[in-house]
Every structure is written in C-alpha cells, then in structure tokens.
Structure 1
Amino acid sequence: MWATASPRAKRLVLSGWVLFALLNLAAMWVYPEGEAIPFHFVWISIAIVFGVHSWPLAGMMAALAVVTLSTGVLMLGQAFDGRIRFEETSEVPLMAAVFLVMVWHVRGRQRALVELERVAALERQRAETQGLFVRLGSHELRTSITIARGYVELIRSAHDDRQTDVDASIVLDELTKLDRLTGRLTTLMQLDSPVELSPLNLDVFLERLIQRWTPVADRRWQGESDVGTVDANEERLLAAMDSLIENAIAFTQTGDRIHVRAWRDQDFFLIEVSDSGCGIADENVEQIFERSWSSRRGQARGGSGLGLAIVRAAVEARGGSASVRSSVGVGTTFTLCIPQRFRDRRPGVVTAPLSGNAKARGSFEPE
C-alpha cells in the first residue's frame, strides 16, 4: 500500500511522474498534429499519482497550476501558429475542472475513511469496556454482594431484637435486587456476542421451566408444547423465558393463571406466555420492550425495566421477533417467533417426557 511506502519510494514515484510529464509536454511541442495523445497522458498521469499519493492541498494546487499553464501555453501557441483550432484549447480548463472534481471526491473518501477508523476505534473501545463490565458483573460484583449478604445474615442471627431483624431484612432485600439487576445487565451485555446453537428439546425445556418456577409463586401454572427438538442457545432462551415469567408473576396475584405454550408454524417455532393478570395500558404496549421502560407497578415490585429488553435482544439475535397483546383487567400475552429448520420429525408428535398428571398429549402441569 502507498500509505506504508518509504519516503524514498514516494520520491522515486514523484520523480518518475515529473519526467513522464516533461516527455509528453515535449511531444506536444514537437508533434503538434498528434498533441491530443501526450496531452491526455499528462492529465491521466497526474490523476493516477494523486490517487495513490494524496498531496497536501498546497502541493496539489501548485502541481495543478503547473500542468494547466504548461499544457495551456503549448496549445495556445499551436493555435496562434495555426497548427490546431482555437476551440481545442478549451480542453485545458475542462481537464482542470475534471481533476478538481476528482480531488474533491478523493479527499471526501479520505475523510470518510478517517471517520470510519475513528468509529471502529470507538467500537473496539466499547467492546473492551463491555467485556470488562461483563467480567466485573459476573464475578467481582456478585462476589461482593454474596459476602455482604453473608455478613447481614450473621448480624441478624446474632441479634434477636425485632428492629435488627427488620433492618437486616431490608438490607437483604436490597442486596437481592442488586444481584438481580447485576445479572440482568450482564446478560444484556452478553447478548451482543455471537450465538452458538445446539439441539434443544423445547418440550422438556418448557416443562422444566414451569416446574422450576412453580414454588416461587402461587399461580395456576399450565404448559403445552409439541415442538420437539430445535436448534437454540439454551442459556439465552432461558434468560428470555425467565424474564417473561418473572414479568407475568409481577403482574398477577395469587390464583391467577400463567400459561406457557409452544407450537410450530411453517419455518418458525413460537412460544407464548400468557397470564390473567391486570394487563397493560394501551399507551404502554408500544414501548414495553424498550430498555428505559418500566411501569409504576413494575417499579413498585423492584422491576428494573431490563427484563423485557433482554427478551427482545435475545430473540432478535436469533433472527426472530417478540410481540405483545394485552387488555387492562383481562391479561397479557407475549409471543416469541423464532426461525428454525426442522429436521427431526413432523409436527404434532410429542417427544418430551411429560409429567404424570398431564391432562392431554403435549400438555403438562407441575407435579
């Protein structure tokens, strides 16, 4: 590349161009009947040299002035001698204008390249900062939170007065929120990294998901899936589903229904999480997946507004989409649509080992 060439090599190229230009100017003078060819060689050569070696503006304008004057004087002299027509001399300002347009384009491209390099450097710095944050969030921060929680537990166990117990419970609750927020921020940062897919039995995955969440909240849990094995990243899908179920728990009360189901639709598999909770106002539905969104009720229950942002980021990283429909006082349904190449079996045949009290083929409830 010319940008990495040595100063000596650059001087040789420029010296060669000067010699080439002088030879063509001499040819224009000696052979006026064929001046068009050496004339254009002079202009083509200066354009080529400028294209591979961006001169400073002052040097470029000086070279342009020398070439314009030298070719212009030669052609005007030949015109006065009657060797060429005067209208042919118009090529000189036209070629100078073309060269200036080329200079404008080249310098604009160089500015764009400089800006791209600056943006790339900022992106590398951002990636390094993100990686550092992920490492801190997944280790140092959580380690400190765990240590703090342990000491609070010791303090609470060493004192039997009610006020100390209340204060310790508040601190533990805040540490739990901080730990959850740290985990979500770490997950959100990691979603920008490449996705590694592996076979996952979605039916078994969803059944275990419901069984894991059942002791957390007293709800009417239901599940239904006949998708079978898919290519997915289990960790990211689990992060998205945990966020959806945690959101459903936050907006429902004891005895409300939470229903998880999955099915195939052509080249996609869809997962739906619906609840019979309080629902979402129409004005909030459009912005519910934004990272900055958090309803008042979600804030009151310790919501950070990152859970649904994790859902959307995880699904879109897989080439899919997330949508929501809701009615106030009726409930909310979130739907994940993820592209898939099904190879293992035809739709409608259940391969998941379902719970013993499953009500129907492909449906399951927690034991």
Structure 2
Amino acid sequence: MTGSAESRRCAMWVTASPRAKRTVLFCWVLFALVNLWAMWRFPEGETIPFHFVWISIAMVFGVNSWPLAGMLTALVAVTGSTGAIMVDQAVRGVIRFEEVSEVPLMAAVFLVMVWHVRGRQRALVELQRVAALERQRGETQELFVRLGSHELRTSITVARGYVELIRSAHEDQQTDDDAGIVLDELGKLDRLTGGLTTLMRLDSPVGTAPLDLDAFLERLVRRWVPVAERRWSCDSRVGTVQGNAERLQAAMDSLLENAIAFTQNGDSIAVRAWGEPPGFHIEVSDTGRGIAQEHLTHIFEQSWSTRHGDARGGSGLGLAIVRAAVEARGGKVSVTSSPGTGARFTLTIPDPIQDGVRRASPAPLSVERAKTEH
C-alpha cells in the first residue's frame, strides 16, 4: 500500500511539474534518436529499436498527457522517421516490404491507446467535478441542518416557556389540554432537530480511546431507569474496548428510547454485552409489541415510521442513528422480532483490543439495585 501511494505521488508530481515534463520530453527525444540511429546503423536488428521507439512514445504520452496538437506532432515525427528508415532498408533489400506495414499498424495502435487514455481523462475530470459538487452539497446540507437545528431549538425553547406560562395562568381544563398538546408537538420537534444534528455528527470522522464497556453500559441503564417503569437489567461481560463513548451513547440512547416507546409499564428491557473476537456484541431486547416481518427490512431507514402498523409518534431517525453510528465503526446492526414477542437488536462492533487486555466485568445490574441508588 505504501509503495503504491508513493508511486501515485510520483506520477502526480511528474504530471504537474513543468520542469519534470521538459526533462521527461528531453530524455525521450534523446532515447528515440539513439534507437533511430540504431535502426539505421544495424538494419539486420532494426526490430528491437523500432519497438523501443514506439513503446517509449506511449509511455511518455501516459506520463505527460500531451495536448492533441503536441501528440499528433510527435506521432507524425515518429511515424515519418521510423517509416523512412524502414522504406530505405526495404529498397536496399535488407528487409522485406511487408515489414514496412508495421509502421502504420503501430501508429494505429498508438491512436487507439490515445483514444482510450483521453476518454479516461475526461471521465476522471467529470468524476472529480461530480465529487466536488457532492462534497459541496454535503457541506451545505450539514451547515443548513446545524444552523437550522440550532435556530429551531432556540425557538422551541422560547415557545415551550410561553406555553408553560399560559398553562400556569389559566386553570380551566380546556386550556390545560390544549397546552399539553402544544408541548407534545414541541417535544417532537425538539427530538427531530436533535436527531438530525446527531446524524450530521456521525458523518464526521472521530477518534477512539479505551472504554470500559461494562461500566459504560451500567451507567447508561441507570440513567434511563427513572424515565420509564420497566423491569431493567444490564449484564455486560466485555471489559475494556476501543471505542468512542459519544457515538456509542447516541446509538444506545436511540435503542433504549425505541424500546421504551414500544413497551408498557411492567415490560422488560434488557441490555447484554459479550466479547467475541474480532470484536464485541451489545444486545438490547424488550418484551413489547414486537415488529411485523414486513417492517424488518426497513426499520433502519430514516423514513421508517411504523412498527406493527402503528404510528411511531417519533422522528423516525432513532434507528437510522443506530445504524450510522455502528457502521461508522465498521460494524453492523441486526434485529429479530415478531408481533407480540418483543424485539432484539444486536450491535456487532470490531475491536482491536486483545482479549488478554480485558478485565473481569462487574456483577449484572438489576432494576432493584438501580432503583435503590436512584
């Protein structure tokens, strides 16, 4: 890989440097003149220098990428000089006249090569143009989402404050109900903007560091326990992994929020993790409504908004965030479920840390222990 990259850098340098172009052109002219002299001086062995001349012009054209006029000038010069020598040798009876046909044949082969090279160059230029447009479009989209999310969240916060003031200033039930609806809708907008911002962040590169996965998952579950009355459990026996806590938390928060949305009070939500070279697995399972089979292939799409035919009531970005976060680490996410049996999401993430570095994990976290400490 290093040698290949170095070769590409050298080729780019030769192509880009005018001085290098002149040096290569001068060396080629000198090399061609030497071989033309050898063709004239040693007619019995003209085949080798003849082909050297044609091979060298093909190589120089590939390195220098001459303009059309320069290429045609060089082609005419090579065709004329090699053709004149071979015609002279055929007239003197040194070679047969049939061998002179090699000159137009080599010129035709060179023209075909030029046609392909120039077509490839045009394709590369177009590809670079399209890539630049895509890069600019992506940067514009990211800037729009970031600025839009910030402005939206500011407006949502202000609007929520005024709705709360209106709600507290009126004691009638109708106003309270209407204010509750508005607050719910503002909450949905807030989650949507947060999801969009998270997706944008997941597209940018990020560093990794050693992460105590067992302690991380235990803290994560403890944080969610007060949010919903579920039977929570966490059993992680992995130890230290190489990862990014912010990205992994974004994925896990989305999975747990999804599990809460489709379970009821008293249902179970379990987080389990285990190491399996060359990486580790994290599983989030619940005993909720489950997912219909026809939805399993679409649930990680950003537009997916139903589960078992019911409205999700969310932004539809949660599981897309999970997939983006895991795939950014070279991993994958899978799901198994059926209606009425709950759902089981499994994250499979590669990990360069050897098993020998991992330490023993703590005891599994149960909901009773979590509730006591909260």
Could you state the TM-score of these two structures normalised by the residue count of structure 2?
Answer: 0.80
Flag structure 1 segments of 5+ consecutive residues without an equivalent.
359-363
Q: Which moved more, 1:22-31 or 1:316-325?
A: 22-31
Contact 1:237 1:314 in 2 (8 A): yes
1:142 to 147, 153, 165: 153
1:224 to 235, 240, 248: 235
What code does the residue aligned with 2:262 have? F
Matched, 1:193 2:174: no
Specify the alignment match of 1:285 in structure 2. Answer: 296
Q: Deviations over 1:104-124 (max 9, x none)?
A: 342233224313422442343
Report sequence identity in percent: 72
CA distance in 1, matches of 2:191, 2:34: 77
CA distance in 2, matches of 1:256, 1:189: 33
Residue 176 of structure 1, CA deviation: 0.9
1:304 to 304, 315, 337: 315
Matched, 1:53 2:51: no
Residue 71 of structure 1, CA deviation: 3.2
Specify the alignment match of 1:248 in structure 2. Answer: 259
Q: Deviations over 1:147-191 (max 9, x none)?
A: 222233233334444444333322221111111011111111211
Pair 1:141–1:15, CA change in 2 (3 A): same
What code does the residue aligned with 1:233 have? N
Secondary structure of the structure 2 residue equivalent to 1:280: coil
What code does the residue aligned with 2:89 have? Q
Secondary structure of the structure 2 residue equivalent to 1:122: helix
Specify the alignment match of 1:315 in structure 2. Answer: 326
Contact 2:323 2:333 in 1 (8 A): yes
Flag structure 2 segments of 5+ consecutive residues without an equivalent.
1-12
Pair 1:352–1:255, CA change in 2 (3 A): closer
Contact 2:235 2:365 in 1 (8 A): no
Contact 1:226 1:263 in 2 (8 A): yes
Matched, 1:99 2:110: yes
CA distance in 1, matches of 2:316, 2:93: 84
Residue 19 of structure 1, CA deviation: 8.7
Q: Deviations over 1:300-320 (max 9, x none)?
A: 342232211111221222232
Pair 1:135–1:81, CA change in 2 (3 A): same
Q: Which moved more, 1:9-18 or 1:51-60?
A: 9-18
Secondary structure of the structure 1 residue equivalent to 2:242: strand
Contact 1:24 1:41 in 2 (8 A): yes
Specify the alignment match of 1:361 in structure 2. Answer: none
CA distance in 2, matches of 1:275, 1:213: 14
CA distance in 1, matches of 2:368, 2:244: 29
Q: Deviations over 1:222-243 (max 9, x none)?
A: 3323333333211111111111
Residue 326 of structure 1, CA deviation: 0.9
How many residues are aligned here?
A: 359
Contact 1:76 1:86 in 2 (8 A): yes
Specify the alignment match of 2:5 in structure 1. Answer: none
Alignment of 1:1-367 (within 5 A): 1=13, 4-5=16-17, 32=43, 35-36=46-47, 39-40=50-51, 42-57=53-68, 60-61=71-72, 63-65=74-76, 67-133=78-144, 135-136=146-147, 139-295=150-306, 300-340=311-351, 341=353, 342-346=355-359, 349-351=360-362, 357-358=368-369
Pair 1:57–1:219, CA change in 2 (3 A): same
Pair 1:100–1:331, CA change in 2 (3 A): same
Contact 1:130 1:189 in 2 (8 A): no
CA RMSD of aligned residues (A): 3.5
Contact 1:280 1:332 in 2 (8 A): yes
Q: Deviations over 1:282-339 (max 9, x none)?
A: 1221222222322156863422322111112212222322111112112111112223
Secondary structure of the structure 1 residue equivalent to 2:272: strand
Secondary structure of the structure 1 residue equivalent to 2:109: helix
Q: Deviations over 1:37-61 (max 9, x none)?
A: 6644543453344334334445534
Residue 65 of structure 1, CA deviation: 4.2
Secondary structure of the structure 2 residue equivalent to 1:252: coil
CA distance in 2, matches of 1:255, 1:111: 64
Contact 2:306 2:312 in 1 (8 A): no
What code does the residue aligned with 2:65 have? S
